[in-house]
Amino acid sequence: MNVGITILLGLGIACGLFYYSKNDRDLIGIALGLFIAATPIMPWHLLDHTIINTIQFPWRFFAIITAIVSYLVAKDECHLLKNKYYFYLLILLLGAGNVIYSTNSIQNQSWRFRTNTAYNTPNPYYIGAGHEYLPAQTDYQKILRHKKQVIKYQPHKIKITNVRHTWGRYQFDFRTLTDQKAVVEVPFIYYKGYVAELNHHQRLPMQMNKRTGLTQVALKGTGRITVYYRTTTIQRIGTVISLLSFGMLIIIIYKEKRRATK
């Protein structure tokens, strides 16, 4: 089922409340603005290669729109849900709309289906414009051609055994064959959050291969290495700010609701 028709109907009801609910006009305006931004009406191509482009996928705005619409519908300013006839009519419209939309999508939009070959050779546009997150040194087409994601190293400098690759994590045992450090390239596109742990406790510095944009680590001696992504300090700060902002929003809405009922 596609919930888009549900959001659209809820947004329509919210627009009908615009003239009746002065307290929620800001939320309704925000929901409408984000809804327009998530449609082809918004000329996103004019903002390509700008800081705005880091939004990457405008349909993410539907998460905010859904939260606002859910709040407005649950608040039921016009008391539609208290009337059983309106309530059942609303459920009927939502159910019928979702079934019709889903059926139509399957029957008339078969062009959206992708073969395995086509899926494995996506257009770089589907990760934004291909410029938001990839290092400048990364050759995206080369990465697509090499999907086995093997570790690269010089066998005469280091021996690697027991390689384990799970989702987002590489683990292997190593032993250097010379007195100098040996560089091992792990097939992860370099981000500052990647860390390498030696024997599960000692952190080793990660570097970016200046030619490929991939992650590499310099090793010496023997041990077991685990490479994985760990959130950075700025990401953890951002999470705290988001949670605090959400908590403040709940408090503000609660206070406004109490004020309106007095």
pLDDT digits (tens, 9 = 90+) for 10-28: 777 767 666 666 777 788 8
pLDDT of residue 224: 93
pLDDT digits (tens, 9 = 90+) for 126-164: 555 555 567 777 776 776 666 677 888 999 999 999 998
- Considering the chain, what percentage of its residues have pLDDT values greater than 70? 78
SS (H, E, C) 69-136: HHHHHHHCCCCCCCCHHHHHHHHHHHHHHHHHHHHHHHHHCHHHCCCHHHHCCCCHHHHCCCCCCCCC
Residue 124 has pLDDT above 60, yes or no: no
Task: Pull the structure tokens for residue 130.
Answer: 């291909």
Residues 25 and 237: their CA atoms lie apart, in Å, by 31
Q: How far is CA 35 from CA 6, 11, 41, 60, 65, in A?
A: 13, 9, 10, 10, 7
- Considering the chain, what percentage of its residues have pLDDT values greater than 90? 19
pLDDT digits (tens, 9 = 90+) for 60-72: 888 888 888 888 7
Q: Give me the mean pLDDT over the 106-112 stretch.
A: 64
Query: What does pLDDT average to over the chain?
Result: 79
Q: Give me the mean pLDDT over the 189-212 stretch.
A: 88
Residue 32 confidence class, pLDDT cut points 50, 70, 90: confident
| Contact between residue 117 and residue 25 where contact means Cβ atoms under 8 Å apart | no
Angle at 236 between CA 233 and CA 237, to 5 degrees: 85
The residues that bridge with 194 in the sheet, in sequence order, are: 229
pLDDT of residue 1: 41
Q: Give me the mean pLDDT over the 189-215 stretch.
A: 88
pLDDT of residue 147: 65
Average the pLDDT over each of 52-61, 136-145, 212-221 and give the range with the smallest value.
Answer: 136-145
Closest CA relative to residue 207, chosen from 230, 224, 183: 183
Residue 123 has pLDDT above 70, yes or no: no
pLDDT of residue 133: 67
In sequence order, the 6+-apart residues with CB closer than 8 A to the CB of 174 are 158, 159, 160, 161, 182, 184, 219, 222, 223, 224, 225
pLDDT of residue 239: 92
pTM of the model: 0.53
- Using the CB atoms, write b or e for 131-167: b if 16+ within 10 Å: eeebeeebeeeebeeeeeeebebeeeebebeeeebee
